[in-house]
Amino acid sequence: MTEFLNVLTDHWSLFGQGFGNTVKLFLIAAVGSLALGVLLGAFRVSPIPALRWFGATYVNIVRNTPLTLVFAFLVFAAPKLDINFEYFTAAAVALTVYTAAFICEVVRSGVNTVAPGQAEAARALGLSFAQVLTGVVLPQALRAMVPPLMSVMIAMLKNTTVAAGFSVVEAGAIPSYMAEFGEPQFYVLLWITIGFLVLITPLVVLQRFLERKLAVAR
C-alpha cells in the first residue's frame, strides 16, 4: 500500500504536469472543436448545396480516419508542407479537427429532431425568421443536442491521451516516463485511471442529469 502511495507522492510534479496538460488540451480543443463543429453543422443544414457538400465531405472523411493518423499527419507530415506546429499545438489541432466532425453530426441531427411543422406553425403565426429560429427551433434543438455534446466532450477528454504517442507530456505520457524510473507500472496506471475517473465522473453525472432533465417525449 505504501508503495502504491509512493508512486504518486514521489512523482507529484510529473502527475501534476501530466494532468494539468490534459485539462489544458481538453479545454482548448473543446472550444476549438465546438466552434468548428457548429460552423460545419450550420453548413450541413444550410440551403446552399456547396456548403452542404463541403460539410458532408469533411464529416465522411474525418469520421473514417483514425485519430492517431490525424496526429501522425500533423506531427510528421505537416512539417514537410512547411507547416510547423509545436507538439502541444499539433495535439490541440488534431483533437479539434477530429472532434469537430462528431460535433457537426450532433448539430445536424439535433436540428433535424425538430419537426418541420413546428417552424411552419410559427411562420403561420407571422413570426420572422429570427423569431422562428430563436423562439421555436433553437430551444428545441438545443434540448436534443446538449446530452450528446456532453458525450462527445467526455470522449474527447479520453482521446487527449493519444497525444502521448506524439511527445506531449499529458496524462497518457506518464507511463513511458515512469518506465525510466522503474516504478511499478500497475500502480502508475491505477493512479492515471483514478485521475481520469475524477475528471470524467462529474461530466458523466452532469450528462445523465441533463439527459433526464431535457428528455422530450416524442
Partner 1 sequence: MSSSVLYDLPGPRGRRRNLVIGVLATVGIVALIAWVIYRFNATGQFEYRRWAQFEYQAVQTELVNGLLATLKAAGIAAVLALLFGAVFAAGRLSDHRILRAPSSVVVELFRAIPLLILIFFGYYVPLQYGWSISNLWALVVGLTLYNGSVLAEIFRAGVNAVPRGQSEAASAIGLRKGQTLRIILLPQAVRSMLPAIVSQLVVLLKDTALGFIITYPELLTVGKTIGGRLAFGFPYVPAYLVVAAIYIGICGLLSIFAWWLQRRLTRVRTSAAKPLPLTDVDRQI
Q: Is 8 in the site for partner 1 (CB under 8 A)?
A: no
Q: Compute the distance between CA of residue 67 and CA of residue 72 in angstroms, rounded to an integer.
A: 9
Q: Is 64 in the site for partner 1 (CB under 8 A)?
A: yes
Cα→Cα distances 213→66, 146, 159, 206, Å = 34, 11, 27, 10
Q: Give the SS3 label for residue 44.
A: helix
Contact with partner 1 (CB under 8 A) among 27, 31, 35, 179: 179
C-alpha cell at 213: 432533465
User: For the stretch 187-198, what's the b/e string if a residue is b when 16 or more beta carbons lie within 10 angstroms of its beta carbon?
Assistant: bbeebbeebbee
Q: Is 156 in the site for partner 1 (CB under 8 A)?
A: yes
Q: Is 72 in the site for partner 1 (CB under 8 A)?
A: yes
Contact with partner 1 (CB under 8 A) among 6, 27, 35, 63: 63
Residues that bind partner 1 (rule: CB under 8 A) add up to a total of 67
Q: Is 99 in the site for partner 1 (CB under 8 A)?
A: yes
Q: Compute the distance between CA of residue 200 and CA of residue 216 in angstroms, rounded to an integer.
A: 25
Distance of CA 119 to the CA centre of its chain: 30
Q: Is 186 in the site for partner 1 (CB under 8 A)?
A: yes
C-alpha cell at 100: 469537430
- Return residues touching partner 1 (CB under 8 A): 45, 47-51, 54, 60-61, 63-69, 72-73, 76-77, 80-83, 99, 102, 105-106, 109, 111-112, 114-116, 118-119, 123, 129, 133, 137, 148, 151-152, 155-156, 158-162, 164-165, 172, 175, 179, 184-186, 188-189, 192-193, 196-197, 200-201, 204
